[in-house]
A and B are shown apart, each in its own frame.
Chain A
Amino acid sequence: MAIGMRHESERWLDRDAGPVVRPYALVRGRTRPPRAAPDLIDIVTAVGEPESDPFGIGPEHRRLLGLCRKPTAVADLASDTELPLGVVRVMLGDLRQRGLILVAGSARHDSSEEAVLRSVLDGLRAL
């Protein structure tokens, strides 16, 4: 487990130096999505195409939208885009507000938990 800081004597070049635009600039300084934040393993599915909306939907939003054409977990979206989780969540909030994505929550503490546990157990045993 490393913190995202390296030894000061190392020089950060190109990709290592990070994006020219700081991540939070992509979401105009917002740190909270407009609605309840999706969980790390909530599944996001794209359901629409953005209209011409130069002030709301940027290229990063479109990239995110492209990645969730196939249902994809929030953690995978953050990993694929190499953007911080908080930034991805805010952008997902924007997309959700515009009706461009649907977010499905994973089952929690309900009657299906036993079925999920059994199916994971079967899967692990067959590995």
Chain B
Amino acid sequence: MAFERSEPGAGLAAVPIVTKLLVAGGFGVGKTTLVGAISEVRPLSTEEDLSEVSVGIDDTTTVAHKRTTTVAMDFGRITFPSGVVLYLFGTPGQERFWFMWDELAFGALGAIVLVDTRRLTDSFSSVDYFEIRDTPFVVAANHFDGAPRYSQADIRDALDLDPDVPVLICDARRRESVKEVLIASVTHSLARHQSRASGLSRLGGI
């Protein structure tokens, strides 16, 4: 049902419905912890051209030969009894791996920007990325022991978020807390999808 068959006859065995959510945020904010709290974490590596990593750097004369760099990532997988499979991909935290984000973001249901309230500026670039690409996202502040508590309104102001972006306080180590974040993310994506669809039909588009 939800599959676009890229080749005829692709349904020899039951092909599951798969989809993904992104988990973004600064380095060390708890992305892997969050994924691990709710799903089995699996390692994944990619080898990328350094030439792609260094896009934007004009001087290529010093790079005499092509080299690759390994980016280690991990991802989570939740298989629901209905057969639907949800993948959770953490985005690489370092800015030099930003070129990978487009691939990760393509076709994602939505995104979670995990923030540490002591280092809010680390999440600016993630927020910008999803705003610019119009990917529905929620902000989840991972509460670290001993860190000062801020209200959702404070976090919203500090990140200059649109009013419709949900802001949550979570504990990335706790399964129930992470589950709430995922539910908020998918609920937000669904609401966005529905408001777009009704907007289109009012315009007579469909």
Q: Which residues of A contact B (CB under 8 A)?
A: 1-5, 23-24, 31, 39-43, 45, 47, 70-71, 73, 75-76, 78-79, 82, 84-87, 102-110, 112-127
Give Cα A75 to B183, complex, Å.
Answer: 23
- Which B residues are in CB contact (< 8 Å) with A41? 18-20, 87, 107
Contact with A along B67-87 (1 / 0, CB 8 A): 011111101011011101111
Name the segment of B119-127, B153-161, B189-197 touching the other chain: B189-197
Give Cα A121 to B80, complex, Å.
Answer: 10
Name the segment of B6-14, B55-63, B139-147, B165-173 touching the other chain: B6-14
Inter-subunit contact A40/B103 (CB<8 Å): yes
Beta-carbon nearest neighbor of A99 in chain B: B7
Give Cα A2 to B73, complex, Å.
Answer: 7
Beta-carbon nearest neighbor of A23 in chain B: B47
For chain B, the bracket of interface size reads: 35 or more
B113: min CB distance to chain A, Å: 15
Given A39-B106, A76-B42, A115-B1, is A102 in contact with B190 using a C-beta cutoff of 8 Å? Answer: no
A45: min CB distance to chain B, Å: 6
Given A45-B10, A71-B15, is A124 in contact with B186 using a C-beta cutoff of 8 Å? Answer: yes
Query: Main SS of chain B's interface residues?
Result: mixed
- Which A residues are in CB contact (< 8 Å) with B131? none
Beta-carbon nearest neighbor of B25 in chain A: A1
Is B117 among interface residues, defined by CB-CB distance under 8 A?
Answer: no
Query: Main SS of chain A's interface residues?
Result: mixed
Is B5 among interface residues, defined by CB-CB distance under 8 A?
Answer: yes
- Which A residues are in CB contact (< 8 Å) with B19? 41, 106-107, 116, 120
Given A117-B190, A123-B81, is A43 in contact with B45 using a C-beta cutoff of 8 Å? Answer: no
B175: min CB distance to chain A, Å: 8
A73: min CB distance to chain B, Å: 6
B148: min CB distance to chain A, Å: 25
Given A123-B78, A126-B81, is A40 in contact with B179 using a C-beta cutoff of 8 Å? Answer: no
Inter-subunit contact B45/A123 (CB<8 Å): no
Q: Which of B1, B31, B72 lies in contact with A3, CB distance below 8 A? A: B72
B191: min CB distance to chain A, Å: 10
Give Cα A87 to B46, complex, Å.
Answer: 8
- Which B residues are in CB contact (< 8 Å) with A85? 44-47
